[in-house]
Structure 1
Amino acid sequence: MFRSVQIALASLYVTTTGILIAGIYYVHQVLGVEQWGIIAFVSLVITLVAGGILAKIAITPLREHFEHLERFSKETLHELNLPINTITANAQMLRKTHDDEKSLRRLERIEMAAEMLKERYNELDYLIKKQTEREKIETFDLRDVIEERLGFLRSLYPAASWDVSMEACEVRMDRIGLGKVIDNLVENGVKYSLQNPRITITLYNHVLSICDQGIGMDEITLMRIYDRYYQNDSTMAGYGIGLSLVKRYCDRHSINLHVASQVGEGTCVKLEFKKKERNGK
């Protein structure tokens, strides 16, 4: 499809340029018009008409393509909601008829997997809506978002230990997207800790630090962590797109992102938020 569009655009551009040059030559040389203002005006009109045609040819197939992707994504997202709710509802029903420890552990794993699917569902829903709608910018205390996300992450990673210290920090940005950033950074810390993960989270002077004591990264890996689909350890779960999304969010909201890491000692990610000025901006 796009190949034919390129050919059509190139052909129309060459044809329009040829017509424009021939028209100027005809008006000036054959008709003997010496008023260059008239010639320039006619040339401008021809250029605007050709530009409108070029724009329509270029945009129409792209609009149709993205509308198809958007429609497909929304339909797929809607279909995912049903099996997630079905799994959750049936797991709750089975809890009422099974009380032995082995069955309860299995049900707990099923419920946890369903909760993870629900989180991914919410993330996909957020990303799709962000593409079609403007982000909802609001003012809130960063501590509330961190505590909200930790409520979920603690249940997701019961073996991890948490060291949390926070002070008030008022920010103005997309709250849902920031929650996804925190989720990603914490999950990376847990995922790359070999055993007994310990996550330290501090919020002081508008700087959020999320640190782990995991395997760490060397200098070469640090240079590539924002590359889409890159993973430090290919055996780990995930697609390696998390930090790429984090970087884009931070750039969009003017958050300074710093990553420090040493092999065998762990990684520390710092998000430096802009302080509000006295006039409230």
Structure 2
Amino acid sequence: MQKPNTTPYYNLSLKLIVAIAVVTLLAIMGGTMIGIRYQEKALLFSGLLFVCLTAFLCILIIKWVNRPLSKLLEGIRGIGKEDYEKGVWAHQNDEMGHLVKAIDEIAEEIGESRTKLKRQRIEYQNLFEEVPCIITVQDRDYKLISYNREFAEKFDPKPGDYCYYAYKGRHEKCVVCPVEKTFEDGRSHTSEETGFGKDGALTHWIVRTTPVKNDKGEIIAAMEMNIDITQVKQLEEELRRSEKKYYEIFNNIPNPVFVLDVEDLTILDCNESAKSVCGFDRNETLQKSFLELFQREERELYGTKLRTAALINNAKQINKTGENLYVNIRISPSEYHDQKVLLVTTSDITKLLEAEQQLIQASKMATLGEMATGVAHELNQPLSVIKTASSFFMKKVMKKEKIEDNIIMELSKEMDSHVDRATKIITHMRQFGRKSDMTSERVRVNEVLQKAFEIFSQQLKLREIEIEWQTEDSPLEIMADNIQLEQVFINLLINARDAIEEHAKVNPDSDMNKKIILKTASAEDRIIIEVCDTGIGMSEAVREKIFEPFFTTKGVGKGTGLGLSITYGIVQNHDGTIKAVSREREGTCFILTFPAAGAQ
């Protein structure tokens, strides 16, 4: 604070006092000299003294009151002009000094407060300008009073613009206006709006309004804050299109697709193909248990498989009319509306299985045709025995010769056993050739392999082909169709027989070992069957094609090319595998594996 210079005031006061004293003295002396009486002198002296005292008091007032007041007023005017640095100076340590000091302190506090307010105002203005959303202030006529930089950059408003023109290019107020509602009820309102930015691009935003009031609580304006949601809207539109696309794909998948609750297997959703296969409308299917599509006695089994397996082949279901249909089921875990589900796809293979059954039946007939010679050999032996015994009896009767009882009994037993053998062969052939639906039951591999061999035992003996059995003693059981499994073994035995004969034909002078080796074994939860031969073998190129339909290395009229193809299909339908290991002129080994009955 600047200290005022008071020296001129002191000098002036002294000069005035001295001048008054001199004048008074001269007046007294002059009076003496002119002979003024004593009373007049006293009166003159008193008047002069009064004048001096009055002048002195005036000087004091000017010095101690008027001038400090002038300084005080000057300082107050400075405060009024927001000049808080200059302040008010006073050197007196009296009431005036205390007053000036108090005013100085007040000025300092006001200055600090105004500085703080100014700083806050700048901060708030910066916030208003820099906030990452659009802010406008509008009057009751919807004219823009103020707006931030974000709004200016996006919409390029002009002075005096109305909000509806600046935002949307409209020439009248919006039909539904949140600002209007705020003016009406004094509350905040929210809405979603659409307009065009200064680049002409469609813009979406969320609007939030709030009233602006004066000191009397009257609404004088409305503040509108907008958050740009254009990108969100674009993403929503992309998501909507994506959902529509995938839902159309979902509904147009030709196979039924089900979305199942992972806990209770309830159907949460399904596509339109479910109706064409199962017969149920979508509304009938939803909230129905997927297990209701299976036979009641099989639901528990399929419930376990659906939760643990990824593929279920040849599953039997029932449609709305109660008819059976066969499907392959694929299961994969997924998520649906933030819920863990199973995505189940079924493929209707009913017609395919019917065609396969027809093909298998045709193959069985072809196999029976190929087996005709062998069957003839098999039946020839018991018929020969019966013929010999009957001829013996006829001769004895014609000659009226007595036949010993023991001979009659022995020949009768022999005839009876060979009749049983012939009956067994014929019954076996009838069962093998009979058309029947595929069934799955526990079968013992060794027993089925033995039955298949019995058909060929006599003809193999005639061809001097040895059978070597390397079967495991324990009962090896798998879940299979008994007749189809036997057909697999018969096809492999026919191939082994023909390969050995082909090898013998190519090398007639060689002393080859004609042998078929039949092996069975178990390994953990799998059953392994091997049918090996010492036949002609095959090249790698042939081996890669042997399971293809209609592929054969036999001459015309000696094979259909369907035997191994059907064998492969039957093995696959029983969740098994089959492969061939072969080298030319060294023989072939077919290796089959099936799941053990207890492991399925």
Q: In structure 2, what is the equivalent of residue 183 of structure 1?
A: 490
Aligned match for 1:237, one of 542, 558, 563: 558
Q: What secondary structure does 2:458 align onto?
A: helix
Query: 1:192 aligned to 2:499?
Result: yes
Matches within 5 A, 1:257-272: 257-272=578-593
1:118 & 1:241 partners in 2: Cα distance? Answer: 25
Does the CA contact (< 8 Å) of 2:528 and 2:593 recur in 1? yes
> CA RMSD of the aligned region, Å?
3.9
1:98 & 1:229 partners in 2: Cα distance? Answer: 48
1:276 & 1:183 partners in 2: Cα distance? Answer: 22
Structure with max Cα Rg: 2
Structure 2 residue ranges without an equivalent (≥5): 1-350, 369-374, 393-423, 505-512
Distance 1:171 1:155, change over 3 A: same
In structure 2, give the amino acid aligned to 1:271. L
TM-fit CA distance, 1:92: 7.7
Q: What secondary structure does 1:231 align onto?
A: coil
Aligned match for 1:139, one of 442, 453, 465: 442
TM-score by length of 2: 0.27
For residues 133-187 of structure 1, the C-alpha deviation after alignment (integer angstroms, 9 at most, x for no partner) is 3x22211221111122222221231121011111131111101110111011011
Q: Which has the higher contact order (CA 8 A, sep 6+)?
A: 1
The structure with the greater share of residues assigned to strand is 2
Structure 1 residue ranges without an equivalent (≥5): 1-62, 100-114
Q: In structure 1, what is the equivalent of residue 467 of structure 2?
A: 162
Q: What secondary structure does 2:571 align onto?
A: helix
Aligned match for 1:247, one of 559, 564, 568: 568
Distance 1:240 1:204, change over 3 A: same
Post-superposition, which runs of at least 4 consecutive aligned residues in structure 1 deviate over 6 A? 87-93, 115-120
Distance 1:116 1:236, change over 3 A: farther
1:210 & 1:231 partners in 2: Cα distance? Answer: 19
The structure with the greater share of residues assigned to helix is 1
TM-fit CA distance, 1:120: 6.6
1:120 & 1:148 partners in 2: Cα distance? Answer: 11
Does the CA contact (< 8 Å) of 2:546 and 2:564 recur in 1? yes
1:139 & 1:118 partners in 2: Cα distance? Answer: 22
TM-fit CA distance, 1:212: 0.5
Does the CA contact (< 8 Å) of 2:425 and 2:455 recur in 1? no
Q: In structure 1, what is the equivalent of residue 546 of structure 2?
A: 225
Distance 1:221 1:117, change over 3 A: farther
Does the CA contact (< 8 Å) of 2:579 and 2:592 recur in 1? yes
Query: 1:172 aligned to 2:479?
Result: yes
Matches within 5 A, 1:100-111: none
TM-fit CA distance, 1:213: 0.8
Q: In structure 2, what is the equivalent of residue 213 of structure 1?
A: 534
Does the CA contact (< 8 Å) of 1:209 and 1:269 recur in 2? yes
1:234 & 1:254 partners in 2: Cα distance? Answer: 33
Distance 1:224 1:139, change over 3 A: same
In structure 1, give the amino acid aligned to 2:515. R
Distance 1:252 1:160, change over 3 A: same
Does the CA contact (< 8 Å) of 2:479 and 2:596 recur in 1? no
Query: 1:273 aligned to 2:594?
Result: yes
TM-fit CA distance, 1:95: 4.9
Distance 1:193 1:119, change over 3 A: farther
TM-fit CA distance, 1:234: 1.5
Does the CA contact (< 8 Å) of 1:190 and 1:197 recur in 2? no
1:165 & 1:232 partners in 2: Cα distance? Answer: 29
TM-fit CA distance, 1:276: 4.1
Query: 1:202 aligned to 2:530?
Result: no
Q: What secondary structure does 1:157 align onto?
A: helix
Does the CA contact (< 8 Å) of 2:568 and 2:578 recur in 1? yes
Distance 1:93 1:147, change over 3 A: closer
1:251 & 1:123 partners in 2: Cα distance? Answer: 20
In structure 2, give the amino acid aligned to 1:223. E
Does the CA contact (< 8 Å) of 1:191 and 1:236 recur in 2? no
- How many residues get paired? 183
1:119 & 1:231 partners in 2: Cα distance? Answer: 27
